[in-house]
């Protein structure tokens, strides 16, 4: 019975991966044609329609890429190696800061926090949380990236002091296409946190979202430090 369930899950995963893959090429063509003609037409309504086609095709393209990522996440696909967490967080913070220089993004972590992980995937996860923190909070809210090692694990947190997430919606945020009350801001696909959860699970870790009544959200990732956990 368990095997049958796993088998049908694998088939479903493969189907989503194949379908997403097939959608890539026509979407690229669609976007290319819309781009090409948007600058050529004189009629403003037609130009506007072409711009909207291009924007929607771009959004679908992001969705397809996210679906492909989601279907490809498991331990076997990770490229594990030693990761300097301080450096990773500094890199993410400076990328976020370049994207939105007006926002306050800080990193607080002791040097020497290390773990064995897929650096690219972990960066992707922290970046997704940081981008969310910027997208779902007012411009005055600060974003904080922290990490510490404890008992063979490394805890990475992305916090903000924005409005927070109501308790009844907090548990759902990790679901695919979760949409909490304020809607989907800034062109997200609704798969960001599902991908973060997939990355953490593939590493054998845990994740949680905390939002106290006074506001703000902390997304916490707990990852096994692995064999190279010792700092200098």
The footprint of ligand ADP (CB under 6 A) covers 132-133, 136-137, 160, 162, 165, 173, 178-180, 182, 184, 188-194, 217
For ligand ADP, the closer of residues 61 and 184 by Cβ is 184
Long-range contacts of 211-214 (CB under 8 A, 24+ apart): 211/164, 211/165, 211/166, 211/167, 211/170, 212/164, 214/164
For ligand ADP, the closer of residues 116 and 147 by Cβ is 147
Shortest Cβ distance from residue 70 to ligand ADP (Å)?
A: 11
Shortest Cβ distance from residue 182 to ligand ADP (Å)?
A: 6
The residue number whose beta carbon is nearest to ligand ADP equals: 188
For ligand ADP, the closer of residues 101 and 138 by Cβ is 138
For ligand ADP, the closer of residues 41 and 171 by Cβ is 171
Shortest Cβ distance from residue 67 to ligand ADP (Å)?
A: 13
- Tokens standing for residue 43: 């009629």
How many other CB atoms sit within 10 Å of the CB of residue 153?
A: 16
Q: What CA–CA distance (Å, rounded) separates 27 from 34?
A: 11
Q: What CA–CA distance (Å, rounded) separates 144 from 108?
A: 7
Q: List CB contacts of 228: < 8 A, sequence separation 6 or more.
A: 82, 114, 115, 116
- Tokens standing for residue 179: 């949409």
Nearest to 176, CA basis, from 69, 79, 92, 77: 69
Shortest Cβ distance from residue 200 to ligand ADP (Å)?
A: 13
Shortest Cβ distance from residue 167 to ligand ADP (Å)?
A: 13
For ligand ADP, the closer of residues 155 and 165 by Cβ is 165
Shortest Cβ distance from residue 33 to ligand ADP (Å)?
A: 27
For ligand ADP, the closer of residues 71 and 132 by Cβ is 132
Q: What CA–CA distance (Å, rounded) separates 133 from 87?
A: 20
Q: List CB contacts of 149: < 8 A, sequence separation 6 or more.
A: 113, 114, 115, 155, 225, 229, 231
- Is residue 118 within 8 A of residue 79, CB to CB? The reply is yes
For ligand ADP, the closer of residues 68 and 229 by Cβ is 68
Shortest Cβ distance from residue 211 to ligand ADP (Å)?
A: 8
């Amino acid at each position: 019975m368990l095997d049958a369930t796993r088998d049908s899950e694998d088939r479903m995963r493969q189907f989503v991966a194949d379908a997403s893959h097939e959608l890539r090429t026509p979407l690229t063509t669609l976007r290319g044609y819309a781009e090409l003609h948007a600058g050529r037409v004189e009629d403003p309504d037609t130009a506007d329609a072409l711009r909207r086609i291009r924007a929607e095709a771009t959004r679908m393209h992001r969705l397809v890429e996210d679906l492909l990522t989601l279907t490809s996440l498991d331990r076997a696909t990770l490229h594990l190696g030693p990761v300097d967490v301080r450096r990773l967080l500094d890199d993410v913070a400076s990328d976020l800061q370049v994207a939105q220089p007006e926002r306050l993004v800080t990193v607080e972590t002791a040097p020497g926090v290390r773990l064995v992980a897929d650096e690219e995937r972990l960066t992707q996860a922290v970046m997704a949380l940081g981008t969310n923190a910027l997208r779902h909070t007012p411009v005055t809210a600060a974003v904080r990236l922290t990490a510490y090692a404890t008992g063979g694990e490394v805890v990475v947190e992305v916090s903000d002091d924005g409005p927070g997430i109501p308790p009844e919606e907090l548990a759902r945020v990790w679901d695919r296409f979760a949409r909490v009350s304020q809607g989907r801001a800034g062109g997200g696909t609704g798969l960001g946190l599902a991908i973060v959860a997939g990355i953490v699970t593939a590493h054998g870790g845990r994740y949680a979202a905390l939002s106290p009544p006074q506001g703000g959200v902390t997304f916490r990732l707990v990852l096994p430090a692995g064999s190279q956990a010792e700092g200098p």
